[in-house]
Structure 1
Amino acid sequence: MTDWLIELMETLGAPGAGLAIALENLFPPLPSEVILPLAGFTASQGEMNLLSVLAWTTAGSVVGALALYWVGALLGRERTLALAARLPLLKVSDVARTEAWFLKHGRKTVFFGRMIPIFRSLISVPAGVERMPLGVFTLLTTAGSLLWNTLFVLAGYFLGENWALVETYVGLGTNLVIGLVLLAVLVFAGVRLGELRKGRHAYRG
């Protein structure tokens, strides 16, 4: 992957870094924790302009986020509710509660969500489903992405040839997030299965 990114940046320059980040939003296995520090390191070697890297990677983040926003918008609230009704262990009321929470905290969620691994991409979909005003979504996404990108690009810029250390330490945080998500899913499934069993016993009784 690193070789591919280097070749992309050598061919396209800073726009290549922006393209990689746009793809990272759509395909999370492409980690920004690798792309951004590598772009910063490349800039430190004088092969790209640092400000151009920040501008293009932020633009790439916004483009990728907007693509997922429109996926959510096309899916829509009614389709989301219909899908929830068909999924095992999930209730329409679960979606309704999530919707109420997002309507109350959506702006903060979009802004800070751009700085959380995994959720960086996913947060755009519910924003589209709820039709958050496009201007507000774009502004919050741009601000959050600029902070995240600047942090990692500058880390790669100042670490130089040790830029890969960023991926090592951030990877620990990513694994923690994944672990917490899996734990939350298991707890949710356990609670919902317990409710179903109680309901069956009550029905039989």
Structure 2
Amino acid sequence: MTVMTLPAAVYAAAGSQDQSWLTSLADWTVSLMEVIGPVGAGVAIALENLFPPLPSEVVLPMAGLTASRGSFTLAEALIWTTVGSIVGAYVLYGLGRWLGAERLRAIAAKVPLLHPEDVDRTVAWFERHGGKAVFFGRMIPIFRSLISIPAGVAKMSPLRFGLLTGAGSLIWNTIFVLAGYLLGENWHVIEQYADILQYIVIAAVAIGVAWFLYTRVRALLASRRDA
């Protein structure tokens, strides 16, 4: 099998002759895995953790699809994608540790509508629920990457963070790698379900941000009237 064979199948499955950025991403991911094997799947997922716009819902099925073609085993795909998830998460965890609560308080004090107490409440919440947040957060689009930063800010045990990240990532990765492995060129069928979940998460975040802004602006206007 040549490097071009599998991407060509991906284009056919996508149902379009135009190379969208997702198709180009699939092409690059498959080519990387064809060249350096299952390590390439790990590299791609590590990058997905660092750059959330890169969708794991495309990268992971490509690892399964490549494994189904015999380039490497299914076990290798699952192991290396999970290793990549942990490595990428540790980078953002390190960023959170470097920022720390004190730096974030100083930043919050300078940003309109934010208060240093917001950082304190977030850290306190994470200290109570951080384990569940890291584990389940690995299975939620967008939060998969971002949850690592507050874990670092709250100084969660690095070992505990790694174990929870690995467990959550293994579940998420297995679902999508198996989809690519079992569905073959029809791997994109699972995208519609992943898209629904992502839209729900984005809508929930948008509503949360809108409510936060509304309450802060309302409180600010009330304080000015009372002054």
TM-score band (shorter)? over 0.9
In the superposition, the TM-score normalised over structure 2's length comes to: 0.87
- Structure 2 gaps of 5+ residues are 1-24
C-alpha distance in 1 between matches for 2:108 and 2:101: 11
Deviation digits for residues 93-133 of structure 1, max 9, x if unmatched? 22211111111000110111000000000000011111101
In the superposition, the TM-score normalised over structure 1's length comes to: 0.97
Are positions 1:66 and 2:102 aligned together? no
Deviation of 1:16 (Å): 0.4
Structure 2 residue aligned with 1:189: 213
Alignment counterpart, residue 77 of structure 1, candidates 84, 87, 101: 101
Are positions 1:202 and 2:226 aligned together? yes
C-alpha distance in 2 between matches for 1:198 and 1:12: 61
Are positions 1:46 and 2:63 aligned together? no
Higher mean alpha-carbon deviation, 63-72 vs 2-11, is at 2-11
C-alpha distance in 2 between matches for 1:29 and 1:198: 38
The SS at the match of 1:88 is coil
Task: Name segments (4+ residues, structure 1) moved above 4 Å.
Answer: none
Q: Does the 8 A contact of 1:37 with 1:166 survive in 2? A: no
The SS at the match of 2:199 is helix
Q: Does the 8 A contact of 2:29 with 2:59 survive in 1? A: yes
Structure 2 residue aligned with 1:22: 46
Deviation digits for residues 58-104 of structure 1, max 9, x if unmatched? 00000000000000001111101111111111111222111111110
Deviation of 1:139 (Å): 0.6
Are positions 1:178 and 2:202 aligned together? yes
Deviation of 1:168 (Å): 2.3
C-alpha distance in 1 between matches for 2:102 and 2:121: 15
Deviation digits for residues 139-194 of structure 1, max 9, x if unmatched? 11111111111111111111111101122220121111111101110111011000
CA-atom RMSD, angstroms? Answer: 0.9
C-alpha distance in 1 between matches for 2:51 and 2:61: 18
Letter in 1 for 2:177: V
The SS at the match of 2:126 is helix
Structure 2 residue aligned with 1:126: 150
The SS at the match of 1:163 is helix
% same residue: 58
